[in-house]
Structure 1
Amino acid sequence: MQVPRGDGTQGKGNGTRLPKETLDLLDAVDFSGKTILVTGTTNGLGEAVSKHIIVRNVDRLIMGVRNVLRGEALKVKLLGDSVVAAVNPNAIIDVFELEMEDYKSVEAFATKVQETTPTLDVAIMNAAVGGLQYSTAKPTGHEKMLQVDVLSTTYLALKLIPLLEKTAEVKGAPSRLLMVGSWTQFGTSIAEEKLTHDVIKHLDDEANFDPRRYPDTQLLNGLITNELGQRLDKKKVVVVEPTPPWTLTNFGASYPEGPAREAARKMMDEVGLPVDESALTYIVAIVANDEVHGQYLDDNMIAPRSPYSLSSDGQTLQRELWKELVEEFEKVDPTISSVSVI
């Protein structure tokens, strides 16, 4: 499926409903014989894309969840859905614990996937947290959004890349890695500060905390996707950064009561798409041709990244961030250096 190129004026939260011909193409997508992994499945977009995947005949869905009881309840809900029961009653759904605040949990999750999964066709890095106040991930001491949205997300992606590459060799077709992003990366404190070095140290310091921390993490994730696009062979693994629009979900629940939360809720009510429509963004990213490799998708189009990402300072930041990430991961997991992209 070919994805159009945008000029950067589209999207940024304002999702366009997909035309009928595209919806028809997506309805015809068939994931028979495939195994697909999704993190953060018990809320909003994660749940919605899980259903989209199952009704498209996936053999096996792996759900990475923080709360296993909620994950098991979702499994029962999905398998009990009338549409799922009609089209894919034999779908296998595995619920594996994944606490993104803790490297040990991420490593244990990746190991369990590797040990139980001969082939992995698609990995969707969907789990994320937002917020307006500083807090830390207790297992690591890093600022929480930095830990969950950047460090653990990238670490998990790296741990899964060998299995994705192996699958491509077995099946003779590239696997796919979705690094889910956000259009909020266009309004960040990082761009204002022109941050280019000591990235993790800077963001861990409470004195440097800015309410735009979630957008900051999304800018960093975009740079990571761009770096992975340069390092991964797209004949083995296509990496892409799909960006959902404003969506009617409970993601704002991670923000405290107040004007910011109310403003976000108002925007969702005014321009937000139903969650099942927004989740089609992920299906587009899975089936799009390899022109999307390393690219940022906004409103289901290949779109320019933020001006800071494309600037010389942004490129310096990308190189420094990658170096710091590798150093960070090698401290917690010496085996990470064997991954092809390191």
Structure 2
Amino acid sequence: MVGSKDLKPSNVSFGKVFFNNQFRAKPQWPAPGTSLSSKTAIVTGGNSGLGYEAALQLLGLKLSHLILAVRSLEKGEAAANKMRQIYPKANIEVWQLDMSSYDSVQAFARRVESQLSRIDIALLNAGIIKFTFNTVKSTGHEETLQVNYLSTMLLAVLLLPILKAKRPQGGPPARLTIVSAALTLAAKFPEKDRNPVLAAFDDPKLFTNDETYNSSKLLAHMFLWNLVDYVSADDVIVNLADPAWCKDTKLAREVTGAGMKLGVKLFGATTGRTPKVGASCFVDAIVNKGKESHGCFLMSWKIHPFAAYLYTPEGQVVTQRVWEETLAELDFAGVRAILNSMKA
């Protein structure tokens, strides 16, 4: 199998990547008759935007049990009620998950382990773009780094042994898809020259809403580069999926100023994919793609190389540094032991 690590780094300009993503790539919908009957899925951030649309598409494939993992239970229940009206036979639950809190992430994983007899799919969709620098008091980290990377990787690692253990014995591998972004390919990654790397994200002088977001997503490429060595595709297929730029989502909800809001709206209206098409990238990663996608970055419904920086000698050094720093940061949750247990 040829995965993202095995491909040559792309030398295509990001402008061409963006044009192809937005205007030329064609969705790959699940084949007629595809069924998720009897299966259980978790969707984080599933009360709005692409998470909500992806959850609807999974339910449309006869998913039996859906867990909407959300920060606001009130908003989650409102979304779940809409889904229940469309799919009354599905069991749709709303569980609390605050991705800015390590405690909440750990509590959620414990609940999954104790309360679910089966889990087949986890879509880690929750993410943010911050337009001002903000530190999470409980962790001391910048919020974009915390939500998009540190807490997401913690949740991924905590869910891996549960997904492995609670998939049907002798059945297909479980699925763990993490939402990524094509903008990782254009990330300037100003923190790369700092040592340690992750601590540099907590420096207000390096913060910009676009570069911090892009780099936070790039870190997941680096983590997956190493993670795949610990997880067998026979147990859990792990991949990253890019939905491209989509209109009518909540990702840029914190944009301020009438001019900026209008600009974002117009840009989305003229170039953005619909949420339905964007979310289909996640469903494709979960339903259409098989073991060949394990450890891969999926863009425009195809396996794509990681960001070119990862293939350089410098990038390899920084990738390993990020891996070690992340394991050290998450050591309180026993992530090293969990990963070693997956490898056994």
Matched AA of 2:272 = G
Secondary structure of the residue aligned to 1:234 is coil
Counterparts in 2 of 1:278 and 1:334: CA distance versus 1, 3 Å: closer
Partner of 2:157: 158
Long gaps (5+) in structure 1: none
Q: Tell me if the contact between 1:189 and 1:213 (Cα under 8 Å) persists in the aligned partners.
A: no
Q: Tell me if the contact between 1:15 and 1:299 (Cα under 8 Å) persists in the aligned partners.
A: no
Q: Tell me if the contact between 2:70 and 2:95 (Cα under 8 Å) persists in the aligned partners.
A: yes
Partner of 1:247: 246
State whether structure 2 residue 331 is matched by structure 1 residue 312: no
1:284-327 deviation line (CA, Å, top 9, x unaligned): 10121211111111111111122112222222122111111111
State whether structure 2 residue 329 is matched by structure 1 residue 324: no
CA distance in 2: counterparts of 1:319 and 1:292, whole angstroms: 22
Matched AA of 2:174 = S
CA distance in 1: counterparts of 2:62 and 2:200, whole angstroms: 45
Instruction: Output aligned runs, 1:196-211, within 5 Å.
Output: 197-211=195-209
1:47-91 deviation line (CA, Å, top 9, x unaligned): 00111011111111111100001111111110112xx3xxxx321
Counterparts in 2 of 1:284 and 1:42: CA distance versus 1, 3 Å: same
Partner of 1:273: 273
TM-score (norm: length of structure 2):
0.88
CA distance in 2: counterparts of 1:6 and 1:270, whole angstroms: 32
Q: Tell me if the contact between 2:9 and 2:307 (Cα under 8 Å) persists in the aligned partners.
A: no
- CA positional deviation for 1:163: 0.9
- CA positional deviation for 1:263: 4.2
Counterparts in 2 of 1:338 and 1:297: CA distance versus 1, 3 Å: closer
Instruction: Output aligned runs, 1:50-129, within 5 Å.
Output: 50-81=55-86, 84=87, 89-129=88-128
Secondary structure of the residue aligned to 1:30 is coil
CA distance in 2: counterparts of 1:158 and 1:193, whole angstroms: 24
Counterparts in 2 of 1:285 and 1:250: CA distance versus 1, 3 Å: same
Partner of 1:291: 292
CA distance in 1: counterparts of 2:342 and 2:199, whole angstroms: 24
CA distance in 1: counterparts of 2:314 and 2:258, whole angstroms: 35
Matched AA of 2:301 = N
Instruction: Output aligned runs, 1:193-232, within 5 Å.
Output: 194-195=192-193, 197-211=195-209, 212-232=211-231
Q: Which runs of 4+ in 1 moved over 6 A?
A: 2-7
Counterparts in 2 of 1:317 and 1:176: CA distance versus 1, 3 Å: same
CA distance in 1: counterparts of 2:149 and 2:338, whole angstroms: 21
- CA positional deviation for 1:259: 6.0
- CA positional deviation for 1:260: 5.6
CA distance in 2: counterparts of 1:312 and 1:6, whole angstroms: 14
Counterparts in 2 of 1:59 and 1:14: CA distance versus 1, 3 Å: same
What is the aligned-residue RMSD (CA, Å)?
A: 2.5
- CA positional deviation for 1:261: 5.0
Counterparts in 2 of 1:193 and 1:327: CA distance versus 1, 3 Å: closer
Equivalences, count? 330
Secondary structure of the residue aligned to 2:237 is strand
Long gaps (5+) in structure 2: none
Matched AA of 1:221 = A
Counterparts in 2 of 1:158 and 1:319: CA distance versus 1, 3 Å: same
- CA positional deviation for 1:199: 1.4
Q: Tell me if the contact between 2:42 and 2:123 (Cα under 8 Å) persists in the aligned partners.
A: yes
Deviates more, 1:215-224 or 1:27-36: 27-36
Deviates more, 1:296-305 or 1:264-273: 264-273
1:242-263 deviation line (CA, Å, top 9, x unaligned): 1001111132112333766554
CA distance in 1: counterparts of 2:203 and 2:192, whole angstroms: 16
Q: Tell me if the contact between 1:101 and 1:138 (Cα under 8 Å) persists in the aligned partners.
A: no
Secondary structure of the residue aligned to 1:145 is helix
Matched AA of 2:310 = S
Counterparts in 2 of 1:336 and 1:68: CA distance versus 1, 3 Å: farther
- CA positional deviation for 1:169: 6.5
Counterparts in 2 of 1:194 and 1:325: CA distance versus 1, 3 Å: closer
